[in-house]
Amino acid sequence: MSIVSFDLEGDFAAFKDPSVTTNQTVTIIPSKSALIGLLGAMLGVKRSNSIFGDMYSEGYLDLLKKTSVGIKVRSQVAKCTFFTNHRSLKEAKTKPYKTELLVNPKYTVYVKSTKDVNQTLLDRLKDNRFVFSPMLGHAYCPARISQFREILGVIEVKPDELQVSTVILDEVMESKSRTPGLRFEQFSDFPAKVMVERHLHHYIDGDSLKRVVLRHFIPVPENDKDSVIEIEHYTSCLSLAKFYSVEGSEQALCLF
């Protein structure tokens, strides 16, 4: 079993929160579907074959089904906000529209897929040639990709008592339980800064595309040090997240 990792960064990112329609509010991390779209751009898998056809192409859904991703935030969280005037369709006047951008985002992305997808991705990364230009949520936010590698010696492990610095998917739906499915401890030597975001998570169940809003626990660097948390207990309701230990590393990875 192997995982492909690469560093992903840019001057700005605009991963939009789809639950907010009155302005453009952005999130700290991309959703899984956004990352699959970015991987599809690198590999040449189109999200949709036609603007008048299905929202997702068969190639995109197949890539979503057989690929797990993990995200590690490597930068401080900083956003900038600006306003533009938009013409109202109801009245003869303009109204302000707020736009947010994430500033200098840096991530390490982990990809676990089939052998063919992993190898094709590695070849693309080695040549630094992609079918479509990877973007961080919008056409005016080009991505820079570097420091790729293939991680060998990966073993799936149980989540309890693991040390993790990647994003952890909470599979307990907040609409059914206000108590998160994740309990963790903070190390006294490395106090963790953890933020929580809610993303519309897409996954394939059998042959059907499912969508559910789930919490994501995001360790964010503090004082130029990684935030490391130790999982006390993890509840797996949907069997979406898997945890992996890496040979030579004390920290495990969460992929979903």
Burial of 246 (0-12, 13-18, 19+ CB in 10 A): middle
What pTM value is reported for the model?
A: 0.91
Q: Residue 36, SS3? A: helix
User: pLDDT 10s digit of each residue in the chain, 256 long?
Assistant: 799 999 999 999 999 987 777 778 899 999 999 999 999 999 999 888 665 556 788 999 999 999 999 999 999 999 999 888 877 777 778 878 888 999 999 999 999 999 999 999 999 999 999 999 999 999 999 999 999 999 998 999 999 889 999 999 999 999 888 899 999 876 555 567 999 999 999 999 998 999 999 999 999 998 888 899 899 999 999 999 999 999 889 899 999 9
What whole-number distance in Å separates Cα of residue 98 and Cα of residue 88? Answer: 14
Residue 67 amino acid letter: T
Report residue 208 as tokens: 């059907």
What whole-number distance in Å separates Cα of residue 190 and Cα of residue 95? Answer: 46
